[in-house]
Amino acid sequence: MTADLKDQIHILMERGINRVSAADVAAQSPAASAFPARYLRPALRSRRAVTIAAVATAACAVALVAAELGAGASPARPGPARAPVVLTAAMLRQVTSASRLALAHAGRAVVNSRETLGGVLQQTGSDNITFDGRNWNDSFTVVTPPEAGQPASRESAINRVAGGQAYDYFVAADGLAWYHETGPDAVANLAIPDPRVLLRELAPAARFAKGGTSVLDGVRVTRLTATNTSGLPTLNSPDIWPAGTIRALTIWVDGRGVVRQVMVTGRQEVKVVGFPGNPGAQQRLRQFMAAVRNLEKKDHLRPALAMERVKFTVLGRELRRHHLEIVRSEASVTTMTIRFTSIGQPQVIKAPAHAIKVYGRG
Nearer to another protein, 39 or 359 (CB): 39
Contact flag: residue 348 with another protein (CB under 8 A): no
Instruction: Find the binder of another protein among 23, 148, 152, 353 (CB under 8 A).
Output: 23
Nearer to another protein, 22 or 173 (CB): 22
Q: Report the C-alpha gap between 175 and 329 in whole angstroms.
A: 39
Total Cβ atoms within 10 A of residue 324: 19
Please classify residue 361 by burial: count the beta carbons closer than 10 Å to its beta carbon, then call 0-12 exposed, 13-18 middle and 19+ buried.
middle
Do the Cβ atoms of 332 and 269 come closer than 8 Å?
A: yes
Do the Cβ atoms of 181 and 170 come closer than 8 Å?
A: no
Nearer to another protein, 114 or 361 (CB): 114
Smallest gap, in angstroms, from Cβ of residue 65 to another protein? 11
How many chain residues are in contact with another protein, going by CB under 8 A? 60
Residue span 70-109 as binding mask against another protein, x where in contact by CB under 8 A, dash where not: x-xxxxx-xxx-----------------------------
Q: Where does the chain have alpha helices with state H?
A: 5-16, 22-28, 42-57, 61-68, 89-102, 186-189, 281-299, 303-309, 315-322
- Which DSSP letter does residue 150 get? B
Q: Report the C-alpha gap between 25 and 2 in whole angstroms.
A: 35
Contact flag: residue 212 with another protein (CB under 8 A): yes
Do the Cβ atoms of 233 and 118 come closer than 8 Å?
A: no
Nearer to another protein, 193 or 266 (CB): 266
Contact flag: residue 234 with another protein (CB under 8 A): no
Contact flag: residue 121 with another protein (CB under 8 A): no
Footprint (CB under 8 A) of another protein, residues 248-267: none
Q: Is the peptide bond before 151 cis (omega within 30 degrees of 0)?
A: no
Footprint (CB under 8 A) of another protein, residues 273-332: none
Contact flag: residue 41 with another protein (CB under 8 A): yes
Contact flag: residue 50 with another protein (CB under 8 A): no
Smallest gap, in angstroms, from Cβ of residue 312 to another protein? 36
> From the centroid of its chain, how far is CA 103?
15
Smallest gap, in angstroms, from Cβ of residue 341 to another protein? 11
Contact flag: residue 60 with another protein (CB under 8 A): no
C-alpha angle 92-193-140 in degrees, rounded to nearest 5: 125
Contact flag: residue 31 with another protein (CB under 8 A): yes
Smallest gap, in angstroms, from Cβ of residue 80 to another protein? 7
Smallest gap, in angstroms, from Cβ of residue 207 to another protein? 18
Nearer to another protein, 41 or 321 (CB): 41
Total Cβ atoms within 10 A of residue 230: 10
Nearer to another protein, 23 or 173 (CB): 23
| Dihedral angle, C-alpha 11, 13, 16, 20, nearest 10 ° | -120
Contact flag: residue 38 with another protein (CB under 8 A): yes
Contact flag: residue 214 with another protein (CB under 8 A): yes
Contact flag: residue 22 with another protein (CB under 8 A): yes
Contact flag: residue 218 with another protein (CB under 8 A): yes
Do the Cβ atoms of 157 and 145 come closer than 8 Å?
A: no
Question: Residue-wise over 145-181: b if at least 16 C-beta within 10 A, else e?
Answer: eeeeeeeeeebebebbbbeeebbbbeeeeeeeebbbb
Smallest gap, in angstroms, from Cβ of residue 169 to another protein? 25
Contact flag: residue 357 with another protein (CB under 8 A): no
**C-alpha R_g of the chain:** 25
Contact flag: residue 43 with another protein (CB under 8 A): yes
Binding site for another protein (CB under 8 A): 1-6, 8-13, 15-29, 31-33, 35-39, 41, 43-44, 47-48, 67-68, 70, 72-76, 78-80, 211-218, 223
